[in-house]
Copies of this chain bind each other. A is one copy, B any other.
Amino acid sequence: MFDQNQIEVVRRSLLFRDVPEPLIERLLRDGRLSRIDRGETLFVQGDRAEFIYVVVEGLVKLSRITPAGDDIVVAVYAAGESFGEAAALKGGVYPVTVEAAENSLLFQISARCISRHIGDHPELAMAMLASTFRHLHELVVEVEDLKGQTGAQRLAAFLTALAPAKEGPCSFSLPYDKGLIAGRLGMKPESLSRSFANLRREGVTIRGGQVSVADMGRLRALSEAERPARKQAAPCA
Report which A residues bind B (CB closer than 8 A). Answer: 38-39, 61, 63-64, 66-74, 86-87, 89-90, 92, 95-96, 99-101, 115, 118-119, 122, 125-126, 128-130, 132-133, 135-137, 139-144, 146-148, 177, 179-180, 182-183, 186, 188-189, 224-227, 230-237
Contact = CB atoms under 8 A, between A and B. Distances in A.
Given A68-B230, A74-B144, A143-B72, A61 B129 contact: no
A68 B146 contact: no
A147 B144 contact: no
Given A126-B89, A148-B72, A61 B136 contact: no
B233 A74 contact: no
A133 B90 contact: yes
Contact of A64 (B86, B95, B119, B144): B144
Contact of A68 (B66, B143, B188, B226): B226
B225 A68 contact: yes
A1 B171 CA distance: 62
A147 B184 CA distance: 10
Given A139-B140, A180-B235, 4 more contacts: A71-B232, A72-B233, A86-B133, A125-B129
A133 to B, nearest CB: 4
